[in-house]
Amino acid sequence: MSVEIETRVRRANLVSRDQHLERLFGADLSHRLLRDVYSMKEGRMDEMTDWSEQSAVEDVPADEKAFRPTPTSPQQRSAAFVPAILSAVIAIGVIVALVARQPASLAETPVQIAEAFMTALNDHDADAVLSLFGEHYVFGEGSTEALLRGEIEQESVLGWTYHLEGCVDVGAVGDNARVSCDYAFSNDITRATGTGPYGGSTYVFSIDRDGEIRLADNTEADQQFHGEALQQFFDWLLEEHPDAGDMYYQYDGRNGPENLAKWEQYLPVFVAAMEEAG
């Protein structure tokens, strides 16, 4: 869904909700209740209505007020406040439920969802990444959830950093929005060797109308990284630790815990050696 279409849908839903609440509670009360809900959501409790100060009959239509006795004693006024307060509490609960049930796409644009994905990658948070996927997410050829978790864990060990250069909505394909995010990357190897960050990489996302990522396609421009930083690491490893055996910087399911253990063992030694060499 394009941002323009999404904005129209959001506005249409809000108008429909507000009109429904006005029909239930009247314009003034529904306005105050909505204001209180959003004040609560944003933590601005001091801006909320003090319902204990509200008259029990102030929202009653004029033609009904004439036939209702005005409470005179404290007991009568207290009793009269109860239904008003209960109504307000119930109404706030209804509104909170209505707000909470809005699809993710009404709360965030496709670009914001793509940016959230990139942030989760930078945090090496596999659960946060997977939470952005819809139930119909399409993994790349040969990829699975387990492999994705392994890749994110390996990136964490290598100190992988995504330098986001910007995400743009590049138009819809069918019902899905497409967002392209350009980025550069660096890691503990590049920082130790004084190379990078390496640019020219792109993530392209397909995001459905419910705000769920259906596809995330990564084109990583890592050739220069291979020829410079990574080559320095493997040259050092071969010379200083020839018995280390094979190591892989990308996780592919064949190089699980044993490979990660090697990176955890040798990478800090390499970084320290580069720092000592100046």
- How far apart are alpha carbons 225 and 193 in whole angstroms? 11
- pLDDT for position 200: 97
pLDDT at 190 over 60: yes
- pLDDT for position 130: 94
- pLDDT for position 53: 53
Tens of pLDDT, residue by residue over 143-166, are: 788 888 989 999 999 999 999 999
> Which of 4-18, 54-68, 102-116, 124-138 has the lowest average pLDDT?
4-18
pTM: 0.62
- pLDDT for position 270: 97
Tens of pLDDT, residue by residue over 205-243, are: 999 999 999 999 999 999 999 999 999 999 999 999 999
pLDDT at 257 over 50: yes
> Which of 113-122, 134-143, 159-168 has the lowest average pLDDT?
134-143
173 vs 36 pLDDT, higher one: 173
Most confident of 135-144, 181-190, 245-254: 181-190
- pLDDT for position 94: 44
pLDDT at 194 over 50: yes
258 vs 193 pLDDT, higher one: 193
pLDDT at 13 over 90: no
**Percent residues over pLDDT 70 in the chain:** 60
- Measured in degrees and rounded to the nearest 5, phi and psi for residue 91 equal -60, -40
- pLDDT for position 80: 45
- pLDDT for position 164: 97
- pLDDT for position 56: 43
pLDDT at 181 over 60: yes
Domains of the chain plus CATH, in order, are: 3-102 (no CATH), 106-277 (3.10.450.50)
Tens of pLDDT, residue by residue over 57-113, are: 444 444 444 444 444 554 544 444 444 444 554 444 544 444 444 444 445 899 999
